[in-house]
Amino acid sequence: MTDEKLEKKVAALKNGDTGAFDYIYDRTNRSVYFSIFYIVRDKMHAEDIMQETYVRAISVIAQYRAGTNFTAWLRSIGKSLALNHLKRAGREIATDFEEDAYKYGTSETELPFIFDLAAKILSEEEYEIIMLCHVAGYKRREVAEMLGMPIGTVTWKNNEALKKLKARLEKEGGI
């Protein structure tokens, strides 16, 4: 299952149409970001690595095989860069939400907790589906296209991940 408009824009970018990049970025950036964020667990580093991902992708765009899954190809570049970042750092990277984040209001302390909890208890695939559907606002059909899986699988994994999160929050008294 491929996104035909995205594939056309990728082909245009391969042929030197730099204007196609805007559409490509808008269509893929959230999926790439959440794939990277799941690994590095740091907003600032995830954003830096995401930029590096697009720079790298443009430099090797000729290697992309049309009709495969461009978003998955980008995500694999991003994941590789994120893993390399962790290896270079030589230590586990903590989140950039400081312990005194209460100074900035409840939403600053509650959302990072939920993101961190989701990253801890969900598989990478479940985490990405939850983030794309509920944080980035994509429809499950769009997420299915991005991840190259059937919509039924996305729906099932989404529901299972929500059940896991709800059960853990109830157990910890968060609901």
pTM exceeding 0.75: no
The contacts of residue 5 (CB under 8 Å, 6+ apart) are 23
Exposure class string for 78-95: b at 16+ Cβ within 10 A, else e = bbebbeebeeeeeeebeb
CATH number belonging to domain 1-95: 1.10.1740.10
pLDDT digits (tens, 9 = 90+) for 35-65: 999 899 888 999 999 999 999 999 999 999 9
For the chain, give every residue range classified as CATH 1.10.10.10. 104-175
The architecture of the domain spanning 104-175 is Orthogonal Bundle (1.10)
